[in-house]
Amino acid sequence: MAAKSKDTNFRSRSRRPLAPAVPGGPTSRSPAASKDAAGALSDEELAAAVELNSAEWIRLKSRLPWVEFHDDDDALWLFAGDTWPQNSVALARFTPASANRRVGEILAHHQRSKVACNWVVGPVSQPSDVGQHLRAHGFRCMIHCAGMGCDLDRLPQPPPAPKGVHVDLVDSPPALQALTTERRRLRHEGRNAMARMEPRQVWHLVASLDGQPVGETTVCLGAGVAGIYGVEVLEKFRRRGIGTALVDAALRHARALGHRTSVLAATGMGQCVYARLGFREVCKMSFWKYGKMRQIT
Ligand SMILES: CC(C)(COP(=O)(O)OP(=O)(O)OC[C@H]1O[C@@H](n2cnc3c(N)ncnc32)[C@H](O)[C@@H]1OP(=O)(O)O)[C@@H](O)C(=O)NCCC(=O)NCCS
């Protein structure tokens, strides 16, 4: 049965207790985590947390049974071939001397299978000109966006939720789109599986309008902060406050789990929504791609 949370209009359908002690959670021993538990992070720490949390998000997806994971000393990358989740490289920690060779080695693995390679670059990635090495190998920067952070102790009063809209915490998120392709089916299956992984780090929220699912987002705990991912509202239901209600509910859920800080990488469409909810830009995140367009999301 749905347990009503303290926040109005935010119902929980989760059948399991929400455990705060998770890897990279507020009780973890990482410097950012203990600092997060003790007080607000500096902008520099927040910037690092944006990229470290996104790497944790990739690491979790790499636990899906059809995904190959490479946890190299100087980079981590998941490889799913030509399906969901998209192939992703993160946390490059190359030296100026090794960068060119390592980009080439990781890219070669993708080229052999003739699939796209996506590469996330943020403030932690090394060397600082890793983008130049990616460009030299034929990558293009697809999105250069704001990495944002917010203090969950200072959430603004939420705007009234749009009429007929409810935001729920769900263990099995409904699909917003018909599951007509293998890629969509694996995404659906993967998202469900990630919310069942133990210890739990992933929570999905869905927005429904008059009972019909119209929007979704996900909270991923890692690196001592709560990352917000996959904020999406179906196009014809946008610009009526549903995205704001979803993210607000996600932030309140992260806070209820004991977290004090949230991070995300904002697209242009989302940035104003997040700023109104208390997020501020702390860094830039770049999403590079080699290969065809299909694996962009
Ligand atoms: C980003 C996204 C989730 C926002 O969802 P949304 O439901 O449209 O969000 P909201 O309605 O809360 O806010 C969007 C805008 O509508 C405005 N708005 C909200 N309620 C409104 C209303 N009743 N009447 C008119 N405008 C309204 C908001 O002020 C906001 O304006 P701004 O962006 O110019 O500042 C949605 O555009 C989307 O799914 N985009 C594609 C995926 C994407 O980019 N996701 C973000 C990943 S970081």
Q: Where are the domains of the chain?
A: 10-27+150-282, 42-148+286-295
List the alpha helices (DSSP H) in the chain. 31-38, 43-61, 99-113, 130-136, 182-196, 242-256, 268-276
Q: What residues does ligand 1 touch, defined as CB less than 6 Å away?
A: 231-233, 238-244, 266-267, 269-270, 272-273
Distance CA 224, CA 89 (A): 21
Report how far ligand 1's centroid is from the alpha carbon of 88 (Å): 27
Does the pTM of the predicted model rise above 0.85? yes
Predicted local confidence at residue 3, as pLDDT? 33
- Tens of each residue's pLDDT in the chain, 297 residues: 233 333 333 333 332 222 233 344 444 434 455 555 445 799 999 999 999 999 999 999 999 999 999 999 999 999 999 999 999 999 999 999 999 999 999 999 999 999 999 999 999 999 999 999 999 999 999 999 999 999 999 999 988 889 999 999 999 999 999 999 999 999 999 999 999 999 999 999 999 999 999 999 999 999 999 999 999 999 999 999 999 999 999 999 999 999 999 999 999 999 999 999 999 999 999 999 999 755 433
Report how far ligand 1's centroid is from the alpha carbon of 219 (Å): 19
Residue showing tokens 């917000």: 228
Predicted local confidence at residue 7, as pLDDT? 36
Predicted local confidence at residue 39, as pLDDT? 54
Report how far ligand 1's centroid is from the alpha carbon of 62 (Å): 30
Among 167, 205, 269, 281, residue to substitute to test ligand 1 (most atoms within 8 Å of Cβ): 269
Buried b vs exposed e over 35-55: b needs ≥16 C-beta within 10 Å? bbbeebbeeebbbbbbbbbbb
Output the CA torsion 174→188→171→120 (10° steps): -120
Report how far ligand 1's centroid is from the alpha carbon of 274 (Å): 10
Output the CA torsion 15→17→22→25 (10° steps): 110
Among 244, 251, 297, residue to substitute to test ligand 1 (most atoms within 8 Å of Cβ): 244
Distance CA 101, CA 105 (A): 6
Bridge partners for 166 per DSSP: 208
Does the domain spanning 42-148+286-295 belong to CATH 3.30.530? Answer: no
Question: Do 42-148+286-295 and 10-27+150-282 fall under one CATH topology?
Answer: yes
Residue 206 near residue 168 (C-beta atoms within 8 A): yes
* CATH number of this structure's domain 10-27+150-282: 3.40.630.30
